[in-house]
Structure 1
Amino acid sequence: MKKLSIFLAFLLFVAFQAAAQMQISGTVTGASDGLPIPGVSVVVNGMETIGTTTDIDGKYSITVPSEATELVYSFIGMVNQQVAINGRTVIDVVLEDEVMEMDEVIVVAYGTQIKEAKTGAVTTVTSDDLQTDATDSPAKMLKGKMAGVQINATSGQPGGSTQVRIRGFSSINAGMEPLYVVDGVPIQNESYLYAGGGSDPEEGNDILSTLNPNDIESMTVLKDASAASIYGSRAANGVILITTKRGKAGETKFNFTAKHGWSTKTNDNGFRFMNPEEILKYHRDATYNAGLDPDDPADPSHFYPMSLLDGEQTNWWDEVYQTGETSEYELSVTGGNEKTKTYSSLSYFDQEGIKIGTGLERITLRSNMDHKVNDKLTFGTTLTGSTVEQETQPTSLAYANPFCAASGLLPWHNPYNEDGSFNTDLPSNSDSNPLQNVALNENVDKLYKFLGSAYLEFEIIDGLKLKSLNSYDFVESNGRSYRSPLTPDGEQGGGDLYTSNMINTTVTSSNTLNYLTNFNDEHYFNVLAGYEFQKNIFQQQTAQGSGIGTDIKYLDNASSGKDVGSFHYTWALQSFFGRLDYNYVGRYFFTGSIRTDGSSRFGADNRYGIFWSVGGSWNIHDEGFMSSLDMIDMLKIRASYGVNGNDAIGNYESYGVYGARTYNGLGGLAPDQLANPELTWEQNTTWNIGLDFTLYKRINGTLEYYQRVTSEMLLDQPLSYTTGFASIQKNIGEMLNKGIEVALDVDILKDGDFDWSVGMNIAYNKVELTDLATEEDFITD
């Protein structure tokens, strides 16, 4: 009887426990695609020790106590949901993607900033706004996107250098290109000339063509002193910050993109060439006017009979231009968890230019990683490698340039002989057949680039962070230029070959302390202090030879004209900088920055320069007197003033240079360049006034007025001939640059996944040379 009582009591206890618990099951899916989500955390609200996760099919099952009222569903990258149980045993849940307001945060120098806190002229375009067409350079993606930013492709050849001007010109003899900063690393955007050794920058390749445009998350342009002065001597022409995509927590996502397109030269109807009849009439009239007979075969150079129109006519422009073709394929992978996030991509790009004999082939590989060790320590790496092979044609005004040669050829000259060989009987063009030049000559450059960086961020105390970013930038370029002995340019030397190997390395170390604090939730301070060091080493070896036939196109086959050369230089930059950002109740903002740069390019007396800026802004829309104006969502006025510099000069311009000479059979040294110890920085003093507004939550606009004065401008000052030199560069000129910018964007329609918006921008810029500092003339006779 006793045993029976114990057994009945046990059964009652089990029944009571079963009544005190319940089993809940269900499926969790995503709102965007309706697919099941594995790994979703499901816990009892207020009882975090009771929980489970969804399986690979998004299903879950959990036993909850009777007092449980809610379940919490959470997954990285999605909005958490609290769902009431209400006695249900089956609960299916749909999770929404978490939408981050990334447009409220913009990338600025050495960090990020809330958009409403900006005091300077800063414009950002994200990957959503950048063009989706396949392009060979990220710089071209900015064309038409920003007021005051002018983009020009200098040669029209794939991979050719791109000219970028921010708010016009700021110098004559110093560089005018902006500074490019990729993921916090300043890079050298030099135009590496093709192996032919020409000095025309149009014949170079754009180092930005080594970047995959599809890897870019955003591009931010710093236009005025307040935004750019913290980059000091390199910010005279503005700064372009390029931020690449990084991993996001969540399930691993694969994305494959394929693009194919065609391109043709711009419609040239406004630049009409004469037809064959008009060309012949022109030559006949000119011959008559010279007192000669165009029908007299005894004078071949002036023989232009009407029978020339009887044969087949050639449009030489159609012969040297073609329909270009572009193909691009990319695979990217992104994913991670709360600790580690990664982004990787592999891209192949191939472009055939609209000019015959031009093209670009590029392969890029990228891997970005961020890892959070704990709440205090984070580190990450950015690794990117690329190979670029570029085929070019000369762009100088010479017959080796097929497009220059085509402009002088007459339509009754056929490019081919009857046997299919190239026609070289072209007296109007020094017998230079552009189709033969392209087919037999070679202009190829192969470029290899690796950019690797690693950062470490440590929170010392609450609000105080130390960050160290170190990078290594490596570029190698191998060029080859061959002139066939069957072409006029290579005929005299019996075939000429010029080769070049260039290696350019840059090491950068940037270290910052950043402190954020606030008082009474009214006064907010962000203080930045940093040290940066950058060193560049450039070396180049060249070799050339003549007498090289068409079979073995290598220098060891040269029979004459063998020559070698080398070139080496190095420069370094050391900098200390700081910035203070202050805002009061999110309404009044102030920014001040200062930077000291020391450059090896200048003499000891002027090696260091100090550059600074101040700026302020006022969010007028937050004032009480604006509350009744419902149409105005945002209204901000900004003003800034500051000084930055320009160090884009030769690496040894301030030094006296001697070169090797031979006299009377004896070797020696002679001055090649005068010492110039007083040479110093060009300085740009800029002030800017801006107005930002948003109306009816649809109309966004910006108005800017700026004025920039370039002082200490580098100009050539004539010298007395008794010095042995014609001139020397001195800081004696002055230039005034001013302008107005207007940008307007309107969201016409937003309906779910469909957006329709239009935008426009207008810029006016005027540059005036105000002082050439001409001194008294020297007596030269």
Structure 2
Amino acid sequence: GVILVTTKNGKAGHREINFKAKLGVNYVNNPYEFLGGEDYINVLRTTYAKSGYYCSDGEYVSIAPLTNLTGASPFGTGNVLGKSAWNIMGKTADNAYLLQKGWKEMVDPLDPSNMIIYKDINPGDYNLNNPSLSQDYNINMSGGNDRGSYYAGIGYNRQEGLPVSTFYERYSFVLNASYKITDWLTSTSNFNYNRANWKNMPGSNTSEGNYFGRIMSTPPTSRFEDEDGNPTLGPNVADGNQAFQPEKWQNFNQTDKFTMIQGFQIDIMKGLFIKGTANWYYSEGLYESFTKDYMDNMLTEHYTKTRESTAKFERNFAQTYNAVLNFTRTFAIDHNVNLMLGMEYYDNYKRGFEAKGSGAPTDDFSDLSLTDNGEGKRTINSWHEQYRILSYFGRLNYDYKG
């Protein structure tokens, strides 16, 4: 197939400078409405209590573990303040003061003589940038005369991701110019540069499916903050409070991409021209990550200290050269002929390397040289890829009184 690309360019006898700015907000489209704390506790406690059946001998057999009703669970009354991942307990004189700190109380659906005290949370309030902001700015100028035209622009774009600590940022520059050197020779030049930096997902949960599925459906009694409003981890690292320690996973992703195109068109005679184009595409990417010591259990205050470091570099250089001869002529008024002949050569070379390590003596520096050089602690890999395509094409069209 043939892809036609039209680039922006100036107009003869016209000069202008433009500035454009766009600001936007993005909201999470959540198709589900989850239960609040009181409804959740009512449903789970009632369901667990009635999940069994009676055998023929009169013995009651429970399908669900009834110990969850009185133990440390998202709907259990056996949680201990500060020693559980859930903000729900049986109400006592010792914990009644929590009602003055935003906690709520309800009647135990299994025993109306008992009261349950709990704190209701919405996981999305902790785990999402909702709304997230986006901004885009561009300034450009264009102009021309009877011999040539130009267009130049510079842009900046930044978008916050919906998951916490995620973003995308891009700087861009474009220059398009054409100039009629002589009556039979025209030059066309295009230059484009883009630099992008981003962070896709928090290091604590790199799966988008889990992030927008499991985390958003975390029980509303999860302990994402303590009684004084200080943030806490929650049930665990992957399903807990993603805003608790995002700085523990450090990432740097950057790509730099250049596109340079130079073309010449030779007008041999009316209806006959030859056009040659050279296209260079250069891209390189640098990707680094480092995991600092992070808490994986808030009850025992245990920390994972693998201190993993990774570094990856990849470079890609693609060259495309083509030449096209085009002939258009009308004979004897009614006979129209169009002939196109051409060839193209394409060469793409990619190379890169990647190294990983763990077991560094400190989490203050993300340096691969500090990782443990013991067996199985380090890996390194490199790669080279190249492919070439040489193609020829032709087309002949004829029409009568077209």
- CA drift of 1:292 comes to 1.6
Q: Which residue of 2 aligns with 1:559?
A: 372
Distance 2:238 2:170 in 1: 37
Change (3 A) 1:496 1:353: same
> Structure 1 residues 523 and 392, CA, compared in 2 at 3 Å: closer, same or farther?
same
Q: After superposition, where does 1:321-332 map in structure 2 within 5 Å?
A: 321=128, 322-332=130-140
Report deviation, 1:401: 5.9
Q: Which residue in 2 is equivalent to 1:410?
A: 219
Amino acid at match of 1:271: Y
Deviations 1:453-481 (A, max 9, x none): 10011022332111111111011111123
Cα RMSD of the aligned pairs, angstroms, is 2.9
1:282 CA displacement: 4.0
Instruction: For residue 424 of structure 1, report the CA deviation from its aligned partner.
Output: 3.2
Aligned positions, number: 344
Task: Decide which moves more: 314-323 or 570-579.
Answer: 314-323
Over 3 Å counting, the alpha-carbon distance change for 1:463 and 1:400 in structure 2 is closer
Structure 1 residues 400 and 262: alpha-carbon distance in aligned structure 2, compared to 1, 3 A threshold: closer
| 1:426 aligned partner | 235
Amino acid in the other structure paired with 2:370: N
User: Shift of residue 276 of structure 1?
Assistant: 2.1
Report the counterpart of residue 330 of structure 2 in structure 1.
518
SS in structure 2 at match of 1:284: helix
The answer to whether 1:575 aligns with 2:391 is yes
Q: Secondary structure at the match of 2:14?
A: strand
Matched-pair contact (CA < 8 Å) for 1:484–1:491: no
CA shift in 2, pair 1:441/1:417, >3 Å: farther
Asked if 2 retains the 8 angstrom alpha-carbon contact of 1:402 and 1:438, the reply is no
1:369-394 deviations in Å (ceiling 9; x for gaps): 11111221111110111111112106
Residues 437 and 401 of structure 1: is their aligned pair in 2 closer, same or farther, counting only changes over 3 Å? farther
Instruction: Please give the per-residue CA displacement for 1:21-80, whole angstroms capped at 9, x wherever unaligned.
Output: xxxxxxxxxxxxxxxxxxxxxxxxxxxxxxxxxxxxxxxxxxxxxxxxxxxxxxxxxxxx
What is the aligned partner in structure 2 of residue 316 from structure 1?
Answer: 123
The alpha carbon displacement at 1:584 in A equals 2.9
CA spacing shift, 1:314–1:277, aligned 2, 3 Å: same
Classify the secondary structure of the residue corresponding to 2:243: helix
Q: Which amino acid aligns with 1:315?
A: N
In the alignment, structure 1 residue 475 sits paired with structure 2 residue 283: yes
The alpha-carbon deviation at position 533 of structure 1 amounts to 0.8
1:279 counterpart = 2:88: no
Secondary structure of 2:44 counterpart = helix
Amino acid at match of 1:468: G
Preserved contact between residue 295 and residue 304 of structure 2 (Cα < 8 Å): no
Q: How does 1:287-302 map to 2 (within 5 A)?
A: 287-288=48-49, 289=51, 290=64, 292-297=66-71, 300=72
TM-score normalised by L of structure 2? 0.77
Structure 2: distance between partners of 1:479 and 1:411: 37
Q: 1:503 aligns with which of 289, 311, 315?
A: 315
Q: Is the 8 Å Cα contact of residues 184 and 267 (structure 2) preserved in structure 1? A: yes
1:121-136 to structure 2, matched below 5 A, reads: none
SS of match in other structure, 1:356: coil
Q: Contact conserved, 2:202 with 2:246, CA < 8 A, in 1?
A: no
Q: What are the within-5 Å matches in structure 2 for residues 439-454 of structure 1?
A: 439-454=247-262
- In structure 1, distance between residues paired with 2:33 and 2:304: 36
SS at match of 1:338: coil
Normalised to the residue count of structure 1, the TM-score between the two structures is 0.41
SS at match of 1:281: helix
Identical residues among aligned pairs (%) = 24
Q: Which runs of 5+ in 1 are unaligned?
A: 1-227, 232-238, 587-781
**Are 2:62 and 1:249 equivalent residues in the alignment?**
no
Checking the alignment, whether the CA contact within 8 Å between 2:320 and 2:345 is kept in structure 1 is yes
The structure showing larger relative contact order (alpha-carbon pairs under 8 Å, at least 6 residues apart) is: 2
Change (3 A) 1:507 1:481: same
Deviation at 1:338, TM superposition (A): 1.0
What is the CA distance between 1:542 and its match in structure 2? 0.8
Structure 2 gaps, min length 5: 52-63, 78-87, 91-103, 105-116
Counterparts of 2:164 and 2:257 in 1: how far apart (Å)? 27
**Structure 1 residues 389 and 497: CA distance shift in structure 2, 3 A:** same
Q: Are the counterparts in 1 of residues 165 and 202 from structure 2 also a CA contact under 8 Å?
A: no
Q: Secondary structure at the match of 2:33?
A: coil
Distance 1:335 1:425, change over 3 A: closer
Change in Cα spacing, 1:578 to 1:470, as seen in structure 2 (3 Å) is same
The alignment status of 1:375 with 2:189, answered yes or no, reads no
CA contact (8 A) 2:255 2:286 kept: yes
Distance 1:399 1:578 in 2: 47
For residues 67 and 365 of structure 2, the distance between their equivalents in structure 1, rounded to whole angstroms, comes to 49
Contact 1:394 1:400 in 2 (8 A): no
Q: What letter is aligned with 1:412?
A: T
CA distance in 1, matches of 2:339, 2:349: 33
Counterpart of 1:572, as a letter, is R
Aligned equivalent of 2:162: 354
- Residue 421 of structure 1: how far off its partner (Å): 5.9
* 1:188-227 equivalent positions in 2, closer than 5 A: none
Q: 1:261 and 1:424, CA in 2 relative to 1: closer, same or farther beyond 3 A?
A: closer
Q: What is the correspondence of 1:75-224 to structure 2 with a 5 Å cutoff?
A: none
Whether the 8 Å contact between 1:287 and 1:293 is mirrored in structure 2 is no
CA contact (8 A) 1:432 1:487 kept: no
Give the partner amino acid of 1:508: T
Query: CA contact under 8 A between 1:510 and 1:531: conserved in structure 2?
Result: yes
Contact 1:464 1:515 (8 Å CA) reproduced: yes
